[in-house]
């Protein structure tokens, strides 16, 4: 590619994949002390998907990528960059992105993982967007894929009811400066002082096991509302916009209480918010691309719409993106 030209990233395809197995609140109530009413009232979640023993993060990601490529009407042979956002990789190494690259039969370009938990998809979008803007990529896949069911303590009702498995993907294509439809900006942040509020208590450098997810729910809620709202404000100011200019808000699908609090704080109409947490639960890095996929599939998001993305994850990490679709 000619590095002297100025390029932008356009999302030309979206795709998602969910495991077949559905775990409902009622089924969970038979395993732990909880109820459908308790979970629904506090989280808005009704069910979640659980990967089978034969499924991994990479296999979910491969299927989501195939669906995104089909939606974009682009052959995998044109992909020269794959960024996979995941906190639940198949292996410590190699990168899950390289496994997906192999599974798609792609022999060129490069592939790597990014780990920012629930903010991971926005982090991945920024990395792929930068590569395209610099002329280092012409067609990129950004994938959020997770198997959080493998790091949950299924006896801890404060965490196991919240999460599910799945994968979502977008295809980015390089477009020249004059195109009106592109990623306008991405905004990333982190603060490592809050690790104890949301983390996994295992890992290859500190233990001999994968570990389980641990969370201080009340503290995470407060930081999520503050940080996500701040990231949204930064994105709007950077683009000389107000919240009224946004056609669709696609937040990380953590739980309904966080979504409601953020929406009230930024002042967006409820009918502009894409919500899938009731069906998918919190799928971490996969939640935003899965929600995008659903919104596009039912013709909510259309060409020319201003789409706002925002998320916060463990670390803490958080961020936002504004896209003219």
Active site residues: 118, 252, 282
What tokens were used for 142? Answer: 């950004």
- Residue 246 contacts residue 263 (beta carbons within 8 Å): no
What CA–CA distance (Å, rounded) separates 290 from 85?
13
- Residue 71 contacts residue 131 (beta carbons within 8 Å): no
Which of 153, 176, 177 lies closest to 163 in space, CA to CA?
A: 153
How many Å separate Cα 249 from the centre of its chain? 14
Q: Cite the DSSP H helix spans in the chain.
A: 25-29, 36-43, 57-72, 96-103, 120-133, 157-160, 217-238, 256-266, 277-280, 287-297
What tokens were used for 184? Answer: 């306008």
Which of 115, 266, 315, 263 lies closest to 277 in space, CA to CA?
A: 263
Strands (DSSP E) along 148-217, which ranges? 165-176, 183-190, 198-200, 213-215
């Amino acid at each position: 590619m000619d590095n002297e030209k100025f390029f932008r990233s356009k999302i030309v395809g979206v795709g998602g994949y969910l495991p077949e197995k559905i775990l409902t609140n009622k089924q969970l109530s038979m395993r732990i002390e909880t109820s459908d009413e308790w979970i629904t009232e506090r989280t808005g979640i009704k069910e979640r998907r659980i990967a089978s023993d034969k499924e991994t993060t990479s296999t979910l990601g491969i299927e989501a990528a195939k669906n995104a490529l089909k939606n974009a009407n682009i052959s995998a042979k044109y992909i020269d960059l794959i960024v996979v956002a995941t906190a639940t990789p198949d292996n410590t190494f190699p990168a899950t992105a390289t496994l997906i690259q192999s599974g798609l039969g792609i022999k060129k370009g490069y592939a790597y993982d990014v780990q920012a938990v629930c903010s991971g998809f926005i982090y991945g979008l920024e990395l792929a967007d930068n590569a395209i803007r610099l002329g280092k990529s012409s067609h990129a896949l950004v994938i959020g894929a997770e198997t959080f069911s493998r790091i949950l303590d299924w006896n801890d009702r404060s965490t196991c009811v919240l999460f599910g498995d799945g994968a979502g993907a977008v295809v980015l294509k390089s477009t020249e400066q004059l195109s009106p439809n592109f990623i306008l900006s991405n905004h990333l942040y982190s603060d490592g002082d809050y690790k104890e509020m949301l983390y996994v208590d295992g890992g290859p450098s500190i233990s001999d096991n994968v570990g389980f997810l641990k969370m201080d729910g009340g503290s995470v809620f407060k930081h999520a509302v503050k940080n996500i709202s701040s990231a949204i404000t930064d994105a709007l100011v950077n683009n000389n916009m107000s919240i009224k200019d946004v056609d669709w808000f696609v937040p990380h699908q953590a739980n309904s209480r966080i979504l409601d609090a953020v929406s009230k704080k930024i002042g967006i109409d409820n009918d502009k918010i894409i919500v899938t947490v009731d069906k998918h639960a919190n799928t971490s890095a996969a939640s935003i691309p899965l929600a995008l996929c659903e919104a596009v599939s039912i013709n909510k998001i259309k060409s020319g719409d201003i789409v706002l993305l925002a998320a916060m994850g463990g670390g803490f990490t958080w961020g936002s993106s504004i896209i003219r679709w």
